[in-house]
Structure 1
Amino acid sequence: MEQKVSKYIIIENDIIESIKRGELKPGDKVDSESVLKKKYGVSAITVRKAFNDLINEGYLYGVQGLGTFVTKKQMIRGLTSISFSEELLQQGYKIDMIIDSVEEVTNKDIAEILHVDSDSTLVCVKRVRLANNEAIAYHTSYISTEKLSLEQAQTIKTTRSLYKTFAKYNLIPTWVNENYSVKEITDINVLNQLSLKKGCPSFFVKRMTYDSMDEIIEYAETYFNKDWYSVTVNIKA
């Protein structure tokens, strides 16, 4: 005997299919509760159940007094690749970056992380990660000038990738250690680059990149726009 599918599931599936086909795009308003009640011949409770499920699953969001809208597509980090750019490409995003600055600095605390003398010169590369032409992350990377000179680091302006720049000068990352937390963004420049308001919470990631000899190549700090970023971790027994 064929099992009857609940009406709210039919509504959910139809909306999801409309999103996948591109008929409903990020920011589009979906049909109102009254329209869907009439279209599917259901009660308000059934429509609200469908909306609540789709909001909880990240497909929709509601604005009181205005309606229900399609959410932006998040970049879901599966932690499957060392390269953030590669993960974006695998998910079908068009990627690019804006180089904010490439300069030499000194920083005692970061020099200690990089296992160099406290007064050593470091290369600092700051850039904005773009996905589908929207700013989703602000990266700040530090590399000892013993490994990468300022002149060499400047080639990121043509390679458009820090890891391609590393490869150009025989720096081969093989593994990384990342620490995730939630942190308010107070740096005005970062806020402006990500088009966010002061005090906006973000995913904050500290990252240390190592080569095959377990020598540290890079220390990086990244602010991710929370509306564009989530992390999925698979754990096996």
Structure 2
Amino acid sequence: MFIDKQSPIPMYHQIMENLKKQIEDGTLAPDTLIPSEREYAERFGISRMTVRQALSNLVNEGYLYRQKGKGTFVSRKKFEQPLQGLTSFSEDMRQRGLKASSQLIDFKKTACPEHLLPVLQLSNSDAVFELKRIRLANDEPMAIETSYIPERFAGDLTKKHLTGSLYEYIETHTGHVIAHAKQELEANVASKEEANLLSISAGDPVLSITRTTFFQQDIPFEYVVSVYRGDRYKLIHTMER
């Protein structure tokens, strides 16, 4: 890394660009411990405040992360999740060349929660399958997913069907085509339970996503609440004028 003190470009910005380049070209691998503020300051003969500004900006941009008492580390590259298109988690990971898997936390047939009756167009007598899973990519936890599926669409759904794509099973079983979904996103922080399941710390940022998925003719067949790790996901949306 080289810092040009005569350049009109601020030194903190030069440090940022140098570190970004090393991270993006793989010179600094994910989870690598980088030198401390003091070490950088002594190496380049600059103030620790300048180094601190550069590293703090890179933490805010997601290139670095801090662990209390341990230091500053290189972040893993985030998954870019396009907001266009409708795929299951398994289908999405497969397209990325990753192995999707799930850890089942809860699986039961139960009465539909009252607040979901109008969402899923059900009556009080209708049952739903409720399933809660940790979704993993190459064995790394990515999200907690809680799904509610009306019994009439789930058929003989068992735990063995959850090892693959649930959407593929639903389409094959019902003969319906999954058409579209309505999705809401919210920034949040991880609870202690969520942090434990996702291998992160309580209070870390997460993306909370609720989605209602429909067959053709606007028939709702699924309501799902997902909590994604904020350090591993970023959402991409392309807009055209």
Per the shorter chain, which TM-score range?
A: 0.7 to 0.9
Per the alignment, residue 77 of structure 1 pairs with 81
Q: CA deviation at 1:213?
A: 1.6
- Pick one of 166, 178, 185 that aligns with 2:183: 178
Q: Distance in 2 between matches of 1:209 and 1:96?
A: 21
Q: Distance in 2 between matches of 1:148 and 1:91?
A: 28
State the Cα deviation string for residues 206-235 of structure 1 (Å, max 9, x = none).
110012221112111112233333323333
Give the partner amino acid of 1:181.
E
1:96 aligns with 2:101: yes
Q: CA deviation at 1:165?
A: 1.6
Give the partner amino acid of 1:104.
K
Q: 1:234 to 1:221 in 2, by over 3 A?
A: same
1:213 aligns with 2:217: yes
How many residues end up aligned between the 2 structures?
Answer: 230
Q: Distance in 1 between matches of 2:238 and 2:82?
A: 8
Moved more, 17-26 or 107-116: 17-26
Q: CA deviation at 1:8?
A: 4.8
CA contact (8 A) 2:186 2:209 kept: yes
CA contact (8 A) 2:12 2:50 kept: yes
Unaligned runs of 5+ in 2: 1-6
CA contact (8 A) 1:141 1:220 kept: yes
1:106 aligns with 2:111: yes
TM-score (normalizing by structure 1): 0.78
CA contact (8 A) 1:176 1:208 kept: yes
Q: Distance in 1 between matches of 2:179 and 2:171?
A: 12
Q: CA deviation at 1:117?
A: 1.6
Q: 1:64 to 1:140 in 2, by over 3 A?
A: closer
State the Cα deviation string for residues 16-51 of structure 1 (Å, max 9, x = none).
333234442333211234544565x45235544432
Q: CA deviation at 1:64?
A: 6.4
Unaligned runs of 5+ in 1: none
Q: 1:126 to 1:179 in 2, by over 3 A?
A: same
1:164 aligns with 2:159: no
Per the alignment, residue 29 of structure 1 pairs with 33
Q: CA deviation at 1:141?
A: 1.1
Give the partner amino acid of 1:178.
Q
Per the alignment, residue 46 of structure 2 pairs with 43
CA RMSD of aligned residues (A): 3.2
Q: 1:26 to 1:32 in 2, by over 3 A?
A: same
Q: CA deviation at 1:65?
A: 6.2
State the Cα deviation string for residues 36-74 of structure 1 (Å, max 9, x = none).
4565x4523554443243223210134566532212333
Identity of aligned residues (%): 26
Give the partner amino acid of 1:25.
A
TM-score (normalizing by structure 2): 0.76
Moved more, 125-134 or 5-14: 5-14
Trace 1:55-70 onto structure 2 (pairs within 5 A).
55-62=59-66, 66-70=70-74
Trace 1:9-20 onto structure 2 (pairs within 5 A).
9-20=13-24
CA contact (8 A) 1:140 1:222 kept: yes
1:128 aligns with 2:134: yes
Q: CA deviation at 1:176?
A: 0.8
